[in-house]
A and B are shown apart, each in its own frame.
Chain A
Amino acid sequence: MIGFIIRRLASTVIVMAIVAVFIFLLLHLSPGDPAAIIVGDNATAEQIDAVRKRLGLDDPLPVQFVRWIGGVSRGDLGVSIFSHEPVTKLIGQRVEPTVSLALTTLLLAVTIAVTFGVLAAWQAGTWIDRLVMVLSVVSFSVPVFVVGYLLIYVFSIQLRWLPVQGYTPISEGLVAWARHLVLPSIALGLAYVALIARITRTTMLDVLAEDYMRTARAKGVATAPMLLKHGLKNAGVPIVTVIGIGVALLIGGVVITETVFNIPGIGRLVVDAIQQRDYPIIQGVTLLFSGVYVLVNLLVDLTYTLIDPRIRY
Chain B
Amino acid sequence: MAQATVIPADVAGAAKPPAGKAWRFTRRNPTLVLGLLILAIMLLAAIFAPLISGDPYGMKPIQRFKPPSDAFWLGTDNLGRDVWARTVYGARVSLTVGLCVAIASVSIGLLIGVLAGYFRWVDAIVMRLMDGLMAIPAILLAIALVSLFRASVLIVIVAIVIPEIPRVVRLVRSVVLTTREQPYVEAAVASGTRLPKILIRHILPSTFPPLIVQATYICASAILIEAGLSFLGAGTPPEIPTWGNMIASSRVYLARAPWTVFCPGIALALVVLSVNLVGDGCARPARPAHRASDVRPRCNLPAESCRSPDALLQRGGRHA
Contacts and interface: CB of A to CB of B under 8 A. Distances in A.
Interface of A: 11, 14-19, 21-23, 26, 29-31, 124-125, 129, 137-138, 140-146, 149-150, 152-153, 157, 190-191, 194-195, 198-199, 202-203, 205-206, 208-209, 238, 241-242, 245, 248-249, 251-253, 255-256, 259-260, 270-271, 273-275, 277, 279, 282-283, 285-286, 289-290, 293-294
B137 A289 contact: yes
B231 interface: yes
Contact of A141 (B141, B261, B273): B273
B258 to A, nearest CB: 6
Decide if the interface of chain A is mainly helix, strand, loop or mixed. helix
Given A18-B129, A19-B136, A205-B291, A157 B254 contact: yes
Nearest to A202: B309
Nearest to B280: A137
Nearest to B150: A31
B15 interface: no
B132 interface: yes
A271 B233 contact: yes
B233 A252 contact: no
B254 A208 contact: no
Interface string B173-191: 0000000000000000000
A271 B50 CA distance: 34
Q: Which of A146, A152, A271, A274 has the most CB of B within 10 A?
A: A146
Contact of B141 (A137, A208, A286): A286
A149 B148 CA distance: 30
Nearest to A152: B254
B138 A15 contact: no
A241 B220 CA distance: 23
Given A19-B135, A256-B320, A150 B265 contact: yes
A242 B276 CA distance: 19
Given A19-B135, A275-B233, A286 B319 contact: no
Given A143-B227, A293-B135, A209 B292 contact: yes
B313 interface: yes
Contacts of B265: 143, 145-146, 149-150
Q: Interface range on chain B: under 10, 10 to 19, 20 to 34, or 35 or more?
A: 35 or more
B276 A137 contact: yes
A252 B137 contact: yes
Nearest to B267: A146
B152 interface: no
Interface string B105-119: 000000000000000
Contact of B309 (A199, A256, A294): A199
Contact of A19 (B132, B227, B255): B132
Contacts of B234: 271, 274
B16 interface: no
B228 A248 contact: no
B165 to A, nearest CB: 13
Given A242-B312, A249-B318, A256-B228, 17 more contacts: A15-B131, A19-B135, A26-B148, A31-B149, A129-B290, A140-B318, A143-B224, A145-B231, A150-B265, A157-B255, A199-B309, A203-B309, A248-B138, A252-B320, A256-B232, A259-B232, A286-B144
